[in-house]
Amino acid sequence: MGAGAQGLGPSSTAFPGHSRELNQKQSSRDSNWLPYGMPALQAVALPATPQRQTLDRLWHEWMDCWSQKLQNTLSSQRRQAMGISRDNWHKRRKTGGKRKPYHKKYRALRLDVGNFSWGSECCTRKTRIIDVVYNASNNELVRTKTLVKNCIVLTDSTPYRQWYESHYALPLGRTKGAKLTPEEEEILNKKRSQKIQKKYDERKKNAKISSLLEEQFQQGKLLACIASRPGQCGRADGYVLEGKELEFYLRKIKARKGK
């Protein structure tokens, strides 16, 4: 073999005609070729030669540049999606071993909003967190209003009431004789075509909600449970309490207030 093949050492036997094929394909590189003019398969088979060291150095430089761009993209997307200012959470590294720079956890410092799901109506809205009212593990977390997973909080019912009234065209949580704003009047008493009115009439057949939820809507506050981990993801998301679970926590809160 020629001098060019001898410089590659053992790879010349594993890939016969290496130099000839490399010269033929170097002008028309496809996706299987690395940007340094060497096939990806042969790059793995090369021994620890100066060529391999150069290849490794270039590869790591390219990967570092790519990972930094990915980190910047992810961080900007995360900031836009969370809607929480920089002062309200901070980055923390995942525990154990060396991690990629974009693998971060976020600890919430101060939160007053979250996404809560009304399960029976398949409705999720971003609403205001008013207060922490119950924590099964520690009363001190209630006193300090600390948001942790599975704590019970009071949330604003306005987004859910607005959705209910626009979806069913029925008032919710309103006392008799209460005055409506022009916008609310338009939503509830809007003139609709016969086809649209028929659709709303079908919806009204399933518009009944429990008496406990209706009482909460009259007060303007809903009990909800936090299902996310604010100390890990920097968000306080959860679901509205209903049914047996709502009855259970109402008893617990009442018993704790009576002490």
Q: What is the pTM of this model?
A: 0.60
Rg, C-alpha atoms of the chain: 31
Neighbours of 222 (CB within 10 A): 25
Q: What is the pLDDT of residue 114?
A: 94
Residue 173 φ/ψ region, left for φ over 0, alpha for ψ in the -120 to 50 degree band, beta for the rest: left
Query: Dihedral of the CA atoms 143, 149, 153, 156 (nearest 10)?
Result: 140
Model confidence at 227: pLDDT above 90: yes
B/e letters for 106-117, b = 16+ CB within 10 Å, e = fewer, are: bebeebebbebb
Whether residue 130 contacts residue 153, with contact meaning beta carbons closer than 8 Å, is answered with yes
- Residue range 173-178: mean pLDDT, rounded: 76
Q: What is the pLDDT of residue 225?
A: 97
Which of 20-29, 143-152, 236-245 comes out lowest in average pLDDT?
20-29
Element containing residue 34 per DSSP (H, E): none
Q: What is the pLDDT of residue 74?
A: 58
CA count, 13 A, side-chain hemisphere, 83? 10
Distance CA(249)–CA(242), nearest Å, equals 10
Reply yes or no on domain 116-258 having CATH 3.10.290.70. yes
Q: What is the pLDDT of residue 12?
A: 43
What does the pLDDT look like over 44-60, one tens digit per residue? 455 567 767 777 777 77
Helix (H, G, I), strand (E, B) or coil at 9: coil
Q: ∠ at Cα 95 (89, 99), nearest 5°?
A: 90
**Structure tokens belonging to residue 69:** 């761009």
- Residue range 143-162: mean pLDDT, rounded: 94
Instruction: Please classify residue 85 by burial: count the beta carbons closer than 10 Å to its beta carbon, then call 0-12 exposed, 13-18 middle and 19+ buried.
Output: exposed
Per-range mean pLDDT, top range of 15-24, 146-155, 170-179, 181-190: 146-155
Amino acid at 176: K
Neighbours of 18 (CB within 10 A): 19
Element containing residue 113 per DSSP (H, E): strand 113-118
